[in-house]
Structure 1
Amino acid sequence: MQKPYVIGIAGSSGSGKTFFLKNFLNHFSEEEITLISQDDYYIPANTKTQEENRLYNFDIPTSIDRDSFFKDIKSLFDGNTIYKQEYTFNNPELTPKLLEIKPARILVVEGLFIFHYSEINELLDYKIFMDADESIALKRRLKRDLIERGYDEDDVMYKWVNHVVPSYNEYLLPFRESCDLVIRNNTDDPVVLHSITDSIANDLRVNVI
């Protein structure tokens, strides 16, 4: 199989990656593009108590099964389909899905550490950095974690101050200036992101697909 064109997308928590990805992927068919997310490679922490889970740092590179993540990316290069259980962030109210990740001409690799993991960074043909002002990112993070993941506000704030911001500064921010595209997403206006994804998708159709 021809090597896929690999797009790496990373960004700060609350930068709007999820909305951006959904919008971007909608420009293509399932045969044209596929997504593999670092979030589905967290080393399970569901055996921890609530207090242990609050203190556990999910925002460091060793919280990810790095070897499996890289192995599955390379397997997609070889034309293989990956079957992977979705990671539900220890939320007992969510039933994890079995993800079927099929090889495609365009491969999107998404995650906080994809630039830090040198073996993955080297595979990326185009790098997108999503960013937002800290106050705006925190507001989005609170909304997501309180509603979607069932955390309480004290836990969210503890992790933000002690884990999220330090990890962003150490493992992601140093790569911002070397990325091909930096998107400052401080508004929740979908028109702006629609315009950006339209432009990227049109360019890919001309030069890649």
Structure 2
Amino acid sequence: MNNKPFIIGIAGGSGSGKTFFLNCFLHHFKNDEVTLVSQDDYYIPAGEMTQEENKHYNFDLPSTIDHEQFCVDIKNLLKGDVVYKKEYNFNNPLAVVKILEIKSAPIIIVEGLFILHFKEILALLDYKIFIEAEDTVALNRRVRRDGMERGYPEEDVLFKWHNHVVPSYNEFLLPYKDDCNQIILNNLDTPDHIISITEKIAQDLKIQYCKERA
């Protein structure tokens, strides 16, 4: 029997609806069947910044991620170890920092913008899912999220979108799209649509997982 956890990589650009997709996807597994490792928790702290500094700081570069620790933690989960990690607070000094306890599981989901770009992490993935949305849909989602959840002015969101988000997506994620096992077009904000897609993928992966361990 091969007891190595099955690693699923889920990549998607900003506004692709990746978070909602992930929440739906995880819902199809029991708690002890799956664990999630998010690239967001491996941002290198940028320190306190003014609104203007935050606007111009490019968070959409691979160099902003501690990818070495990211990879180490994935490998530790593969060995069955428990990983403890500070939750990233998106540079909000008022946020209460939580310590995440990430337990190993038969299925490990690794998600983030650069997971396909980091070669050592890419090599660990058994199955790759690419989530995308049309530019206008993704931008509208980004404007709503950053305005409602993070209080960013729309002008700043648009500046980051055109100068940071789109160039980074085109350079560090889009080139890997055709190498993924599954490509999901997520333009609809319809829960039933994503729930049905994630249910089908989850069922197929469970069958594949069982076959590989038979």
Unaligned runs of 5+ in 1: none
Aligned residue identity for 2:136: S
What number of residue pairs does the alignment pair up? Answer: 209
RMSD, aligned α-carbons:
1.3
Paired position in structure 2 for 1:205: 206
Q: What residue in structure 2 maps to residue 137 of structure 1? A: 138
Amino acid at match of 1:58: F
State whether residues 13 and 113 of structure 2, in contact with CA within 8 Å, keep that contact through their aligned partners in structure 1: yes
User: What is the rounded CA distance, in whole Å, between the counterparts of 2:152 and 2:93 in structure 1?
Assistant: 11
Please say if 1:81 is aligned against 2:82. yes
State the shift of 1:171 in Å.
0.4
Q: State the secondary structure of the residue aligned to 1:128.
A: strand
Match of 2:184 in 1: 183
Contact 1:34 / 1:104 at 8 angstroms: preserved in 2? yes
Q: Quote the Cα distance in structure 2 between the aligned partners of 1:61 and 1:53.
A: 17
1:58 matched to which residue of 2? 59
Shift of 1:2: 2.7
Give how far 1:48 is off: 2.9
Q: Partner residue of 1:171? A: 172
1:23 matched to 2:48: no
More off after superposition, 105-114 vs 183-192 = 183-192
Which residue pairs with 2:162 in the alignment? 161
Name the counterpart of 2:39: 38
Runs (4+) off by over 3 Å: none
Q: Return 105-114 or 46-55, whichever deviates more.
A: 46-55
Q: Is the 8 A contact 1:45 1:53 kept in 2?
A: no
> Alignment partner of 2:173: what SS?
helix
Mind listing any 5+ residue stretches in structure 2 that lack a counterpart?
A: none
The 5-angstrom pairing of residues 91-106 of structure 1 reads 91-106=92-107
| Residue 197 of structure 2: aligned partner | 196
C-alpha deviation, 1:115, in angstroms: 0.4
CA drift of 1:94 comes to: 3.0
One-letter amino acid matched to 1:85: K
Contact 1:41–1:64 (CA under 8 A) maintained in structure 2: yes
TM-score w.r.t. structure 2 length?
Answer: 0.94
Give SS of 2:108's match.
strand
CA distance in 2, matches of 1:205, 1:39: 26
Q: CA deviation at 1:71?
A: 0.7
Any idea what the Cα deviations from partners look like across 1:55-106, whole Å, max 9, x if unmatched?
1100010000111101111110111111111112123443232211100000
